[in-house]
Amino acid sequence: MLSFYDVDIEVIIILGIVYLFLVVSIAKIGTYKKCGGYKALLVAFFLTPVIGIIYASVSPQKSILKIVHYKCETCGLEYTTKHNYCPSCAKEGKSIRLVKKSMRTY
């Protein structure tokens, strides 16, 4: 009969590292879901990674909003409508191209 003391400590450490890697991976998946990464981490850690992956997979996706701004590097003004050149700098006689900046928010 194989007892707990017959198992090598190296095997236990490797299995523990694999378990923690799975739990952290599930938490990363949960950050993009409504359940959140912290809850997915707790469920995966305490109830096994299989239940954690099911919990994170069933949770709906967070709504992502993509915001696009156009920024003038010279005067620092930002516009939400697309312009080829900065209207503020154009009044001063300069034709400065706007740089497109896009952001994602939850």
* Entry pTM: 0.57
Distances (CA, A) of 89 to 40, 95, 98: 50, 7, 10
Position 56 scores a pLDDT of 92
Q: Which amino acid is at 75?
A: C
Neighbour tally for 52: CB within 10 Å: 26
| Side-chain half-sphere exposure of 73, counting CA atoms within 13 A | 7
Residue 106 has pLDDT above 70, yes or no: no
Residue 4 has pLDDT above 80, yes or no: no
**Would you list the domain boundaries of the chain?**
7-58, 65-105
Name 96's bridge partners: none
- 92 or 46: which leads in pLDDT: 46
pLDDT tens digits, 31-59: 989 999 999 999 999 999 999 999 999 99
Q: Which amino acid is at 57?
A: S
| Side-chain half-sphere exposure of 89, counting CA atoms within 13 A | 18
State the average pLDDT for the chain. Answer: 87
Position 3 scores a pLDDT of 62
SS3 63: coil
Average pLDDT over residues 1-23: 82
Position 95 scores a pLDDT of 84
Residue 14 has pLDDT above 80, yes or no: yes
